[in-house]
Structure 1
Amino acid sequence: MPALPLAPQHHLLRALRHRNFRLYFIGHAISTLGTWIQQVALAWLIYRLSGSAALLGLTTCVALLPQLFVGPLAGAWIDRHDKRRLLILVEALLGVQALVLALLTWLGWINPVLIVAMAALMGVLNAFDTPLRQSLLSQFIDDRADLPNALALNAMLFTASRFIGPPLAGLLLGVSSEALCFFLNGLSYLALVIGLLLIHLRPAERAAGSYRHLLGEGLRYARHNPRIRAMMLSVLVINFTASSYAVLLPVFAKDIFAGDATTLGWLWGAAGLGSLLSTVLLASRLSVDSLPRTILAASAVTALALLVFAGSDMLPLSLAAMALIGFGITVSNVGTNIVLQSEAPEALRGRIVSLYTSTRFGFDALGGLLVGLLAAHLGAPWVMALAGGVLLVYCGWVGLRSGRG
């Protein structure tokens, strides 16, 4: 079906004129809101049961680490098959995982071992889900010029849910339990499955060859493209350092601010507000060429905000710092995704996206595990300050290299 007419090419919502993208957008909006509600509830459940920052880091690690190891292999597999059918299957399995977690929690059978096991299962499924969704976006629109806007709007969904979901989770936890949050997330996947079933796609080009050949082809393309190499390194560093803040937020909420699940929801919501503002900025941009410079500046702002947050015991100041952290991380991650998908050939899209997601979430996992372990010995504020310092040094190094170039 042709896209709806839309005169202003700079329109913030221009990708929504495409029917398939609208169907995906609505379903994904509901699903992503449920995901954020579950994520906050799970973090609170872990810390409530164990009081352990190390267990928070371990759970985050096993939920994200499969992206690092499974993601590149998943990309080669994705490029050989029907992406829409695969995504429907993965979304259905994610819904079942959330409902099982809700049942275990409601019955009182949940414990740290089961939490880690369920997080690992979710991590494996997400290693397929994320590159599938990202690589399908180009097929949901009929005009490739709208692809950067579609990617930014897709990220805007995630960040809007990140802004709304955590405070909503805090309210739900105040009147009910973690089980209700997990149950609502399980139901939310139905919306995306229904949207995907209503979408009609033209047959897309599929990659041919062995998995080893396809994986090697994607790695060679990324390795021999200087711009892609630099962007991948940026994603690695910011997620290894700054993104690990999520592991420590329950510790700050309970121990630094003497709060509860509502306090945690506000902290996460502040980061979500910053992320939302960043995606609005990216969705309104037309130039991809200037994004690398924007990403570097945003990373430096993130580093400074981490240092402020680490040294603050005033909640309003910490909320402002958290908003800047969310803004900078999202500019880096989403901006990189826009650059990569704008340059990647269609036949290589699944593999390039999977390399990006494996780097983003894999090093987020490793960073989360490391900060959780360090926080158990050094304390959360010192570890947050260390992450900010490392990121600031990296930004200075990149800036000096760019100046010499």
Structure 2
Amino acid sequence: MNISTFNAFKSRNYRLYFTGQSISLVGTWMQKTAVSWVVYDLTHSEFMLGLSLFASMFPSFLFSFLGGVAADRYNRFNLLIATQVASMIQAVLVTALVFWGHYVVWEIIALSAVLGFINAFDVPARQSLVYEMVNSKADLPNALALNSSMVNLSRLVGPGIAGLVLEKFGDTVCFGANALSFIAVIGSLLMMRLPKAETKKHDKNIFFELKEGFTYINNTPSIKFVIIMLSLISLMVLPFSTMIPVYAKDIFKGTASTFGVIDSVIGLGAFSGAIYLASLKPGHNLKKILAINTLIFGGGLVIFSHMPSYPLALLFAAITGFGMMSQITISNTLIQTTVSPEMRGRVISFYAMAFFGMQPLGGLLVGAVSQWIGTQDTVMLEGGVALLIGLLHFRFLRRSKLKKVTQPTLEQQPINTLA
């Protein structure tokens, strides 16, 4: 780790955002952990775990297009404040529901769907606004990598705290802590000093702007490939996380704390990977790193799936987390450093659709497959898919390099052999 690891912290606005969001994300992961545990405890059904993931993320898939257009058309800061307040209200409603004790699993799932709708507008606004928070745009990749470290550190800390709180104090405290955590992020946003947003004229309708975003992506092969690969990973690999309660309770014969430990170890691996990315100096081939880490992701998952030893399973869970982190962070970095500013919100909405939209469908798929072939074989199959996608990344890299070498020759231009 070196000084450049924290270059983005030179920007006051980013420091405020990082601090507030870090606190809020710990609460978010506490709530996610509590929801998974409550759903499985009520139903003892792997399919219902998949359904709960579907409910929390599929609305983001349906409405992220509108969220992207909104991020490009309107003041992103005001939109982010609105989504954070709405998320806080959702957390308060979940807390109240659990506190009164008279609830069924469908009510928890319905409120998770409400949060998914809010996230459809939150993610494009929040990711686009990071660009405006850093004073030097050269620090943007570092800021995005630090964002990932923040997310994964919260994934490390949040589930572990949630597991202990669930055992000692109950689920109401988990949900209540998340509601209170939004005070930090809303307060940090209000303390920022962002440049005054320019008033934008909206002479095009929303559907035309959606079409513009889709056309832009289709005509930019590097962005299109990244989004397609992220879609496949989100659909067929990332939903392995819905099976973690099964590993904790049925395979390793543990409790809520066991669930929290496994989830936290995955977060530890992801956090380590994010810090590694933040420490990279400019000039590294992120596409190659993404390909390698996708193979690490798949290999770790395959070994974890049937590992009978709990300590060794935790080790390979951490390796899995390390590889998993790149799918989100590097994909986001490649998109944000390539996309035109006027298209940023819409392109990020497609990125959000790939990440949030495919996972819920994958959650249903994984839940159904696990009922048929078993949890461990399902997770092993997901790891195999990740290995295949990693090989596709290398194939795309090789073809892109060949194209860069041959294309200038056809035009009788000097050859640039740099990747």
Give your verdict on TM over 0.5. yes
Aligned to 2:14: 21
**3-state SS in 1 of match to 2:281:** coil
Aligned to 1:219: 214
Alignment TM-score, normalising by the size of structure 2:
0.92
Q: Which deviations, in whole Å up to 9, do the C-alpha atoms of 1:265-313 show, x marking residues without a partner?
A: 1110011001101110111123366111111111111111111111112
Work out whether 1:394 is the aligned partner of 2:379: no
Q: Which runs of 5+ in 1 are unaligned?
A: 1-7
How far apart are the structure 2 equivalents of 1:376 and 1:122? 27
Select 1:363's aligned residue among 352, 358, 364: 358
How far apart are the structure 1 equivalents of 2:2 and 2:154? 26
Aligned to 1:307: 302
Work out whether 1:320 is the aligned partner of 2:308: no
Within a 5 Å distance, the mapping from 1:287-302 to structure 2 comes to 287=282, 290-302=285-297
CA drift at 1:103: 1.1
Asked whether the equivalents of residues 54 and 372 of structure 1 are also in contact (C-alpha less than 8 Å), the reply is yes
Aligned to 2:61: 68
Select 1:334's aligned residue among 329, 334, 342: 329
Alignment TM-score, normalising by the size of structure 1:
0.95
Aligned to 2:27: 34
CA drift at 1:359: 0.5
Aligned to 2:408: none
Work out whether 1:349 is the aligned partner of 2:344: yes
Higher Rg: 2
CA drift at 1:398: 3.9
How far apart are the structure 2 equivalents of 1:369 and 1:39? 17
**3-state SS in 2 of match to 1:11:** helix
Asked whether the equivalents of residues 10 and 286 of structure 1 are also in contact (C-alpha less than 8 Å), the reply is no
Aligned to 1:145: 138
* Deviation larger for 287-296 or 331-340: 287-296
Select 1:103's aligned residue among 96, 99, 113: 96
Work out whether 1:81 is the aligned partner of 2:69: no
Work out whether 1:193 is the aligned partner of 2:180: no
- What is the RMSD of the two structures over their aligned residues, measured on CA atoms? 1.6
Asked whether the equivalents of residues 288 and 338 of structure 1 are also in contact (C-alpha less than 8 Å), the reply is no
CA drift at 1:214: 1.3
* Deviation larger for 65-74 or 120-129: 65-74
Select 1:59's aligned residue among 52, 56, 60: 52
What is the identity, as a one-letter code, of the residue corresponding to 2:338? Answer: E
Asked whether the equivalents of residues 72 and 345 of structure 2 are also in contact (C-alpha less than 8 Å), the reply is yes
How far apart are the structure 2 equivalents of 1:161 and 1:207? 39
Aligned to 2:270: 275
Aligned to 2:371: 376
How far apart are the structure 2 equivalents of 1:10 and 1:167? 29
Select 2:237's aligned residue among 228, 237, 242: 242
Aligned to 2:410: none
Select 1:252's aligned residue among 247, 266, 270: 247
Asked whether the equivalents of residues 67 and 122 of structure 2 are also in contact (C-alpha less than 8 Å), the reply is no
Identity over the aligned pairs, expressed in percent? 33
How far apart are the structure 2 equivalents of 1:52 and 1:86? 37
How far apart are the structure 2 equivalents of 1:223 and 1:288? 26
Asked whether the equivalents of residues 99 and 172 of structure 2 are also in contact (C-alpha less than 8 Å), the reply is yes
Count of residues paired in the alignment: 398
**3-state SS in 2 of match to 1:287:** coil
